[in-house]
Amino acid sequence: MGTWEKTELCFPQLLNSSCKKTTRPHFDTMLIYIMLFFSSLLTTALNLLVIISISHFKQLHSPTNLLILSLAFSDFFMGLYMFLSIMLVDGCWFLGDLMCTLYDYLGYVIASASVGTMVLISVDRYVAICHPMHYYSEITQKRVQVCICLCWMCSVIFQSLILKDALQQPGRYHSCIGECVVFINDIAGLVDLTFSFIVPITVIVVLYMRIFVVAVSQARAMRSHIAAVTQSGKVTAKKSEMKAARTLGIVVVLFLICLSPYYCVSLTGQENLLNYLSAAFVFWLYYFNSCLNPMVYAFCYPWLRKSIKLIVTFKILQPDSSELNIL
């Protein structure tokens, strides 16, 4: 017992101002380290493969894939963010107040951009399934590129306003050296929760409920061979669009499952009621969502499996490899 009662400091040379290290059983600490490290490694590697695939092969430059590319970028950065979070397992931050503020700011921007991209994906699938006649005229690559840029810019600006005090004076709320926390007042926290989770999730759920209803009705119409569906001027969505809707629907559902515990805790303000293992699991689940997305793509999209094979065998380095047919 004496080993755990001994107080360890983040900066032993600063006895009066250093933060204390978080003490917990060695096995639990190592388990958290291992989970974060391998999750970070897998997340960055898998999402990098998605980024290279969609960026390199011209056949994959479709509006829907551009949205997947944006999500892969946010997931890739989340993998890097996860790696940095390893330093905070023992409660100590060694990179200074400025880097701590940038670290927190990066996490908020990534999360906000990820949620925004999910909304864009839901809108893309809604138009493709519910209004297929207008999809190719309304959803163009240029418009999608503009929407993605606006999504990331709005995330950067919005989180700059939410974290304005911390960005203006890094470390102003730190009680000791080695601490890395961000303080958001109640109003800013409520605004962030509303526009970063409640409103986007509501939009996503409503759109996908509509997609589900239309998809079911179209499936029944096709099974029943009802000619009136086309005679009345309605056009059913392509099979490929339906498959994309199902795949991205899985991504959205996993997104909700992984992020809901974190935001529910934030919404109810019950953070202090969780023990450290429960809190670690909630945060890890939040991070691990970024690793699940490329796994879903690899399982559902043959083009990703084919492009990954070309990447790992270095055939991607051959001349004109970007023109290859992988669909």
The topology (CATH level 3) of 26-266+274-318 is Rhopdopsin 7-helix transmembrane proteins (1.20.1070)
Q: How far apart are CA 51 and CA 167, in angstroms?
A: 30
Q: How far apart are CA 73 and CA 148, in angstroms?
A: 11
Q: Does this model's pTM top 0.85?
A: no
Q: What is the structure's pLDDT at 232?
A: 46
Taking only the tens of pLDDT, the chain with its 327 residues reads 333 345 678 887 777 778 888 777 777 778 888 888 888 999 999 999 999 999 988 888 889 899 999 999 999 999 999 888 888 877 788 888 888 889 889 988 998 999 899 899 889 888 888 888 888 888 889 999 999 999 999 999 999 998 888 888 887 777 888 888 877 777 888 888 888 888 988 898 888 888 877 777 766 665 565 444 444 444 445 566 666 667 777 777 887 888 777 777 766 655 555 666 677 777 778 888 888 888 888 777 888 888 888 888 888 888 888 888 887
Q: What is the structure's pLDDT at 74?
A: 93
For residue 212, give Cα distances in angstroms to 197, 206, 207, 215.
22, 10, 9, 5
Q: What is the structure's pLDDT at 139?
A: 86
Q: Which residue, among 184, 117, 125, has the nearest Cα to 152 in the 3D structure?
A: 117
Task: Name the residue ranges covered by the structural domains of the chain.
Answer: 26-266+274-318
The stretches of 225-320 forming alpha helices (DSSP H) are 228-231, 239-268, 276-300, 302-312
* Residue 173 burial (C-beta neighbours within 10 Å; 0-12, 13-18, 19+): middle
Q: How far apart are CA 38 and CA 83, in angstroms?
A: 9
Q: Which amino acid is at 233?
A: G
Q: What is the structure's pLDDT at 25?
A: 76
Q: What is the structure's pLDDT at 125?
A: 84
Q: What is the structure's pLDDT at 220?
A: 65
Q: What is the structure's pLDDT at 157?
A: 94
